[in-house]
């Protein structure tokens, strides 16, 4: 048995991580839904 331990690959050398497109997509959906809910309550209160 060899006493060498395999070195962990460092980010940026060989395997680049893909951009977080899915996270950005779901974050934008969350912001749009949150803004829509806020606006609907806002206009509900304005109308009274």
Greater model confidence, 20 or 8: 20
Compute the C-alpha angle 20/21/26, nearest 5°: 105
Average pLDDT, the chain: 84
13-17, 23-27, 30-34: least confident range: 13-17
Residue 1 reports pLDDT greater than 60: no
Asked, for residue 42, whether it belongs to a domain, the answer is: yes
Confidence of residue 8 (pLDDT cuts 50, 70, 90): low
Expressed as residue numbers, the domain containing 32 is: 21-48
Confidence of residue 26 (pLDDT cuts 50, 70, 90): very high
Asked, for residue 30, whether it belongs to a domain, the answer is: yes
Asked, for residue 6, whether it belongs to a domain, the answer is: no
Asked, for residue 29, whether it belongs to a domain, the answer is: yes
- Report the domain count for the chain: 1
In the chain, what are the helix, strand and coil shares in percent, each to the nearest 5? 55, 0, 45
In this prediction the pTM is 0.56
Asked, for residue 41, whether it belongs to a domain, the answer is: yes
């Amino acid at each position: 048995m060899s006493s060498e331990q395999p070195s962990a690959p460092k980010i940026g050398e060989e395997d680049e991580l893909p951009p977080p497109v899915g996270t950005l997509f779901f974050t934008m959906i969350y912001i749009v839904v949150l803004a829509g809910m806020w606006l609907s309550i806002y206009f509900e209160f304005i109308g009274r």
